Chains A and B, each alone.
Chain A
Amino acid sequence: MTVPNPLPNSLRSQPDARGHFGQFGGRYVAETLMPLILALEAEYRRAKADPAFEEEFQYLLRQYVGRPNPLYYAQRLTEELGGAKIYLKREELNHTGAHKINNCIGQILLAKRMGKTRIIAETGAGQHGVATATVAALFNIPCTIFMGAVDVARQAPNVFRMKLLGAEVRAVESGTATLKDAMNEALRDWVANVHDTFYIIGTVAGPHPYPELVRDFQSVIGKETRAQMMEAEGRLPDMVLACVGGGSNAIGMFHPFLDDTDVAIVGVEAAGRGIELGDGHHAASIAGGAPGVLHGNKTYLLQDADGQITDAHSVSAGLDYPGIGPEHAWLHEIGRARYVSVTDDEALAAFQKLCRLEGIIPALESAHALAALETLAPELGKDKIIAVNLSGRGDKDIFTVAKALGVEI
């Protein structure tokens, strides 16, 4: 595909003033929400320029989330795969067990600045819901989490966690009753409660400025990885790798490396039962989708010839979304990042492999990135280094994995 405008001097300077990453991104929302989106953007600009905001953000990441988390050299996994040296960025060691909390801390600080008195969020796997419920408890703000009924059933432990943290969990029965429908319902709630409600979007999607601000809050992942890699190896990695649903853990890892042309960037989409099986069998928006507009932004979507959104499928609830963040769509289009995909079965195998080799139970989402190592690590070769984002821990997934393996627990 051709790129209409010449590339900017730095790939890290996107989006443009109107929230576009090339042809992607933007603000495709109902008029009711537009004034609020504009107000959020203005407040975010002020917060970005305010040292006190950054200070509070950093304080909470350090003292509450437990950052920096380690960049761990996975020696046994490296030896097993027989290729590049593999480092794991241990986001799963964060408070609440995934990268999601980074973004939630940032957004709740914005909500507080804007004087909002109610928090809503959507969640798929429940990780973002738990992280949102956590910061809502910390800041003593009432919180409602929208979650697809299918996900409520397959992620029961996280539902209970959210309730323990004081959040109201609303099961969404409409549509496919998964993440996209939870997001529809959260948008419906938001449009009716714009006066007092802050919507903490969990991924780098939605209308501008969400893809930008979520990315900024998650970029701590890549910034730490850079510094830790310099310390461990005295150089940058040859490749950074992360799973991509909406893509917030991935963009957090990728963004600080965008201008380092020697660092290959690879995102891993969920191929589900197999992209070749067609609609309803996978969640790979770039490999199996086309550009379109959903949930406030233009990006690659799973859709039919009429623009109807088709069902996503992945064994991992957090990747079960028919779109991808607009910055990823742009990075794909300009060729700066490469997007590959792995199946449910490959992810399940990688899940078990990490348990046994490294004593780490990864989230099924993160297991997709690990599965991609099977080919990428040997391909790259022994003198090379890959940094993989281990975006979450897999305790929440043990029931799903047991079921897939035919084990009763």
Chain B
Amino acid sequence: MKDRIASAFAHARAEGRAALITFVTGGDPTPADTAAVLDALVEGGADLIELGMPFTDPMADGSAIQLANLRSLSAGTKTADIFAIATAFRTRHPNVPLILMGYANPMIRRGAEWFAAQAKAAGVDGVICVDIPPEEDAELGPALRACGVHLIRLATPTTDVARLPAVLEGSSGFLYYVSVAGITGKQQAAQASIDEAVAHLKSGTGLPIAVGFGVRTPEQAAAIGSVADGVVVGSAIVEIIGQHGAQAAPHVKDYVGSLRAALNAKEPAR
């Protein structure tokens, strides 16, 4: 079967631009609203979708995504709802890669094998787990790989040369570079540090490099897109959902459209 993640990066590269990766929390503000938001992301021009699994204790997230988690859980979102959202998305969008992102506990609660099988059946292409580093890979990695679901790892400003191979071992799909040592949200990395980090990562892997954390404006997205294979935007979209609730979809589409336009205008990734 064709690898939707690889295809999406190849497609963007062929168009001479970085891929746009967008994050929203599943079930925010309610499970029934998420389909329209996901469609808006795709219509706005997102190449890959990260669907956040809500968790009561999102330790790596800033206030925007913390609030999104709370809204989702307050609306009664269950793990079953997340898989239902994913399954329906896959039916509507056969070719757009869908990645589940979240924390370990909801993923392993019923066993990693159960989670991996559900993800596969729902048409999920990859999983990002914030709090399972390579050292604890056995908790989730083998089950995902056995099902052919990508385990996408994070590299950070603290991931040095000596450690990078451990991060890359067993990771696939793409490498997510967390550009700031910190939580999701408003803090932004200097472009020069991103340029340097992406060059360092590219010397270690052939995987596409996506850069996220603190990316908010089309200008920032374009600057990052000029060096990276993908740009991840999350908190800024989640804030729009926080502001507009069930009516957020058109606003999300406009904002994502502005990000995509900025990426389209740029030179091919080096």
Contacts and interface: CB of A to CB of B under 8 A. Distances in A.
Contacts of A296: 131
A205 to B, nearest CB: 13
B115 to A, nearest CB: 10
Interface in B68-115: 73, 78-79, 103-110
B121 interface: no
Interface string B47-78: 00000000111111111001000000100001
B217 interface: no
Interface string A8-34: 000000000010000000111111111
A194 interface: yes
Interface stretch (A147-155, A249-257, A300-308, A347-355): A300-308
A175 B54 CA distance: 13
B144 interface: no
Interface in B125-181: 130-136, 139, 153-160, 163, 167, 178, 180-181
A30 B154 contact: yes
B242 interface: no
Contacts of A34: 133-135, 158-159, 163
Given A35-B163, A306-B109, A188 B59 contact: yes
B117 interface: no
Nearest to A195: B181
Contact of B55 (A28, A191, A194, A308): A308
Contacts of A32: 156-158, 178, 181-182
26 contacts: A27-B135, A30-B60, A30-B154, A31-B153, A31-B154, A32-B157, A34-B134, A35-B159, A174-B63, A188-B61, A188-B182, A191-B60, A191-B181, A191-B183, A192-B181, A192-B187, A194-B181, A293-B103, A293-B132, A295-B59, A296-B131, A301-B105, A305-B110, A307-B105, A308-B73, A309-B56
A29 B60 CA distance: 9
Interface in B20-52: none
Given A293-B108, A308-B106, A29 B181 contact: no
Interface of A: 18, 26-36, 174-175, 180-181, 184, 187-188, 191-192, 194-195, 292-296, 298, 301, 303, 305-309
Contacts of B135: 18, 26-27, 34
Given A32-B182, A309-B57, 19 more contacts: A18-B135, A28-B139, A29-B133, A30-B130, A30-B156, A31-B133, A34-B163, A187-B59, A188-B183, A191-B182, A192-B180, A192-B187, A194-B181, A293-B105, A293-B108, A298-B139, A307-B55, A308-B55, A308-B106
A191 to B, nearest CB: 6
B56 A27 contact: no
B157 A293 contact: no
B187 A29 contact: no
> Could you say which of A36, A175, A308, A309 has the most chain B C-beta atoms within 10 Å of its C-beta?
A308
A35 B136 CA distance: 14
A30 B128 CA distance: 11
B101 to A, nearest CB: 13
A294 B59 CA distance: 9
B158 A307 contact: no
